[in-house]
Structure 1
Amino acid sequence: MLAERLRDEADASALVLALPRGGVPVAFEVAMALGAELDVLPVRKIGVPGHKELAMGAIATGGALQVERDTLKAAQVSQAQFDAVLAQERAELGRREGLYRGNRPPARVEGRTVILVDDGIATGATMKAAVLAVRACRPARIVAALPVAPAGIEADFADTVDAFVCVAQPALFFSVGQHYEDFGETTDDEVRALLERAWNR
């Protein structure tokens, strides 16, 4: 369903970038349906201490950093606490970059239509970090593509992406997982296997 909604957005230059780990199975299907190149854009949520699923920011490959200042203030997170979590997530981001890509160079972004795919968004922090990372590489267009997101959240991306494509935006949204029959954790091995299948296509 997501791929069908993206057909008008995908031109001959289209590059599908998956946000791991959960975005990779979705992006794989989208890329196969569109006949587009697939690559991975490692991102990491910076979770509030004690509430890891609540994003106080996010980082992406290339040094992009998105800070959710309202969340930081509401959760009363100190700069030292933020910096400690940020350091941990930067280390994990580096590990995943090497694990998923190996010696393979990143796909060329400049001048292309880039479709950023995740399995869904709640706060949007990781997608915002991904957009920052891609924007620095001078694409022709950026499309945020999702199966599910909270109603109205596309307004948060109005000034940063060229199109926001989402299959479902329910008014009652508690988590991404509630909208999947199977939301088991995607493993590193699954990510690597799907990327290899796409790269060897």
Structure 2
Amino acid sequence: MMFQDREDAGRQLARALVKYRSRHPVILALPRGGVPVAAEVAEKLDAPLDLVLVRKIGVPMQPELAMGAVVDGEQPVIVRNQDVIELTGVSERTFDAVCDEELAEIERRRERYLGNRARSDARGQVAIIVDDGIATGATTLAAIRALRKREPKELVLAVPVAPLETLQRLHAEVGAIVCLDTPQDFVAIGYYYRDFRQVSDNEVIAILKRFPAKKMTASGS
């Protein structure tokens, strides 16, 4: 399956998620690439949109290769890709240093993207985590475990494309997985998009302005 761009992927993903509309879910995007995808889902499901601020911890000499991931919070959730750490010979000191850099980037993004914006309350809600795709699953796993601490009623993972092996590892972590394409010979997420240009900070901010983190009730609360 080939997606034209993230918006196209989001529209297709939204159609696969339409059964959740009546359950009034909260849509949680992984920035930056997951935000345009999640926006289409939020629009179709008439749902609030918020972010999960998670960062890949990349191998220093090969930053696209995830040796872990981190999600911010009072106690940051850190996931280690032990196979990659051992394969690349990364020391504990190096891992911690890169992790600290990514936590600093998370803080920058929180201030830039969210500022004083109200945040979605996932407690007791159906929470749908959306990204533009999954490769190793490290960032996704960190996001899932961080969100579980917020006690949602149900966690759903929704992505346009991911390797089947990765989804099988994540299956026990969520209530349901919705994925449009699970190619047997997975290459890279960008391979399945005709347009996979980088999403800018300004695009994320503009999308968030269109979608509130909380839906107003009839009483206005």
List structure 1 segments (4+ residues) > 6 angstroms apart after TM superposition: none
Instruction: Find out whether 1:140 has 2:143 as its counterpart.
Output: no
In the other structure, the counterpart of 1:40 is 51
The alpha-carbon deviation at position 10 of structure 1 amounts to 4.3
In the other structure, the counterpart of 2:40 is 29
Instruction: Find out whether 1:151 has 2:164 as its counterpart.
Output: yes
In the other structure, the counterpart of 2:102 is 89
Deviation digits for residues 71-103 of structure 1 (CA, Å, limit 9, x no counterpart): 111111000110110110010011101111101
The alpha-carbon deviation at position 116 of structure 1 amounts to 0.2
TM-score when normalising by structure 1:
0.96
In the other structure, the counterpart of 1:174 is 187
Superposed counterparts of 1:1-201, under 5 Å: 1-62=12-73, 63-199=76-212
Rate the CA distance shift 1:18–1:115 in 2: closer, same or farther, 3 A: same
- Structure 2: stretches of 5+ with no match in the other structure: 1-11, 216-221
Amino acid at match of 1:58: A
RMSD: 1.4
Identical amino acids, percent of aligned pairs: 45
The alpha-carbon deviation at position 9 of structure 1 amounts to 3.7
| Equivalent residues of 1:117, 1:146 under 8 A apart | yes
Amino acid at match of 1:133: A
Q: Going by fraction, where is helix more abundant, 1 or 2?
A: 2
Amino acid at match of 1:16: I
- Structure 1: stretches of 5+ with no match in the other structure: none
- What SS does structure 1 have at the residue aligned with 2:127? strand
Rate the CA distance shift 1:86–1:181 in 2: closer, same or farther, 3 A: same
- What SS does structure 2 have at the residue aligned with 1:7? helix
Compare 161-170 and 99-108 and name the one that shifted more: 99-108
Compare 101-110 and 44-53 and name the one that shifted more: 101-110
Give the number of equivalent residue pairs: 201
Deviation digits for residues 149-184 of structure 1 (CA, Å, limit 9, x no counterpart): 012322111221000110111111110000001110
| Equivalent residues of 2:72, 2:103 under 8 A apart | no
